[in-house]
Structure 1
């Protein structure tokens, strides 16, 4: 098993690695820790015949790097969090063992039974910051996003039926429910045309809206971020005042102002995955990089558009349909069981335990 200091060191190293050396894609994404996504028009398109298509990529290394600079104790918090998660049996020695895609345990060669998790309900607060009336998205658009989160984290999304047989034993159900009441939608008009990624939308003193009960509620800010950024998330362990997820209104929900090919609510699913401590499925590095999940295949890059199956990198078949890859909304539709175990584990730690509203059979 990895030493916990090595886990955090790996996190810091892949930030440096990705900014300095990543030339894998024509769009040259800076692959950091998954806290920010952007749209890029790039040669190669989206795999659906478009010469130039909208692609989902990381926008910059600013978010986590800034948080580490502003909060020297954050590294230690992340180290302790990984130790707590590892103690719950969700970590692994490396990605070198076992056969990715087989669903077998690297140690025993057997397929372990998936745990049947009880439902956890997480209360949600949505802040809508708008400059134009188009950005002042409707309640219907907001609730359409909540519906997507509940389907994706509840394992009831109908596109799961597309899952290839090679991965049929690896799909997991988080059984996490998100609850939003009408009185938890807050709206504010602003003269600002964009907000950036420095969390200014999260402070009323800077023209935004303060987080509401951040120790017990998932706060989501819907606002124009700028620089073609779809959204970003804060990992567990950061400042409670900035904790939550930020999504551009054009990629939030499934109706209203949403834009193809990110019009099925999967940007929020991806970002909430980060909020629950998931990394990108390819580990944000080369073939030996780690996403801290045992059953996700090796890869050295993100996938875009709607890739053909099988797509092979690092001598294994990529799980391109995973929510933590970079494919179009219509082509991502599953979490692995290992990712589910990791999310559930973080909800049992002090970093996220306050978000559990109820548990029921």
Structure 2
């Protein structure tokens, strides 16, 4: 088998997440119930009935499964390509990407820091040190959105516990797919993100126009419960992404559109095509909004709350990214480049801060602008279920941490040690979060208690 025998690189960005979502909706009443609860929780956050407990940066442990066919050596991507992707994610989810300056001035106040970072796992499920990278040879020529890459029995790689690690599979995808993710609430054995190896990272096999690492940013957005910005209604303008501060638009944008691009009567500013949840080229997407960050917080403090615990003990130390040159000079990794008129700009690190540590940024405020009320899911007022351990604050020190765990009490993990005066606030926040999670568990039991066959 030669490289020419394999599926050709995609001519346009194509995400299979909604194909997976619709399949699960058709197959599983459990999934439908969980999604209804998750949507209701997100709606409560959007309307201000609940507010985020988390105030600090959470670091998600990542395991990358490189599933490659030995007949095509390029599929076995190098460590540098993997690290380049992590660097992109850490800029994009912290609003520290220099190209955020290209966001049109009308939307710059909406640019938001999600306060989420990603590090390759330092501890494996058995408590042993790891580099967070698994390499598995396969005889398969390519994979699809059927989740075969996520199991060794079907030529792929078995996941690490999906309530503790963000599993990313990198492989050859067919059918023009760049990647796909599973929304929260799906089966744990297939939870995670899949990316085409030529659309992963910024070096090695990464191929233009998808060589900026934004396919992973987009798919992890789905994993954190973000929909496509146009609402996947095939241009009907009748559905949206359930986020108030993103304009409704007719369909996906591709390539590098010119602002403004108007559809669905959304003038004068038109589509927010530079949003990570559109389909534009990697060099044309630059932002998440405050409303999208609020929705991600609802996910992290609900169905994915177990990550607020595992992030402390399983994530390894950050690998520093090189400084990025901008018109204002070099920008350290984790710090946003200055943008004139940007209300949500990330301030520069304070004197004495840990080198390379991301600077604190204002918490996302209420979504700017008004939008129509979203229709409540069928299980009205039901909060999202939580299927992992009861979480605590994201940056509590972990006593007796396993080898490779970050300490967190002296700034080694890139964050300053917690002042003693904050202990009381931490305890209050923890008690509130635990109460909400227990309520969610009780609700989830009520939603799915009678459904065992397809769970």
- In which range does the TM-score fall when normalised by the shorter chain? 0.7 to 0.9
SS of the residue corresponding to residue 342 of structure 1 reads helix
2:46, 2:291 within 8 Å by CA — same for their partners in 1? no
2:271 paired residue number: 318
User: 1 or 2, which has the higher strand percentage?
Assistant: 1
Candidates 299, 307, 317, aligned match of 1:355: 307
2:109 paired residue number: 169
2:139, 2:155 within 8 Å by CA — same for their partners in 1? no
What is the alpha-carbon distance in structure 1 between the residues aligned to residue 243 and residue 57 of structure 2? 22
What is the alpha-carbon distance in structure 2 between the residues aligned to residue 162 and residue 315 of structure 1? 23
Larger of the two Rg values belongs to structure? 2
SS of the residue corresponding to residue 73 of structure 1 reads helix
1:1-361 map, 5 Å: 54-58=11-15, 62-89=19-46, 117-131=55-69, 132-181=72-121, 183-285=131-233, 286-316=236-266, 317-349=270-302, 351-356=303-308, 357-358=311-312, 359-360=394-395
1:19-73 deviation per Cα after TM superposition (whole angstroms, max 9, x unaligned): xxxxxxxxxxxxxxxxxxx975xxxxxxxxxxxxx32235696422322233221
Change (3 A) 1:354 1:60: closer
SS of the residue corresponding to residue 74 of structure 2 reads helix
**Alignment size in residue pairs:** 289
Change (3 A) 1:244 1:61: closer
What is the alpha-carbon distance in structure 1 between the residues aligned to residue 16 and residue 194 of structure 2? 14
Gaps of 5+ in 1: 1-37, 41-53, 93-113
1:58-104 deviation per Cα after TM superposition (whole angstroms, max 9, x unaligned): 56964223222332211111001111222223589xxxxxxxxxxxx
Change (3 A) 1:226 1:291: same
TM-score, normalization by structure 1? 0.76
Gaps of 5+ in 2: 1-7, 122-129, 313-393, 396-414, 416-455
What is the alpha-carbon distance in structure 2 between the residues aligned to residue 63 and residue 165 of structure 1? 36
1:306-343 deviation per Cα after TM superposition (whole angstroms, max 9, x unaligned): 10111111222111100001100000010011001101
TM-score, normalization by structure 2? 0.61
Change (3 A) 1:72 1:116: closer
Change (3 A) 1:225 1:352: same
What is the alpha-carbon distance in structure 2 between the residues aligned to residue 77 and residue 315 of structure 1? 34
SS of the residue corresponding to residue 286 of structure 2 reads coil
SS of the residue corresponding to residue 62 of structure 2 reads strand
What is the alpha-carbon distance in structure 1 between the residues aligned to residue 13 and residue 199 of structure 2? 11
1:39, 1:56 within 8 Å by CA — same for their partners in 2? no
1:14 paired residue number: none
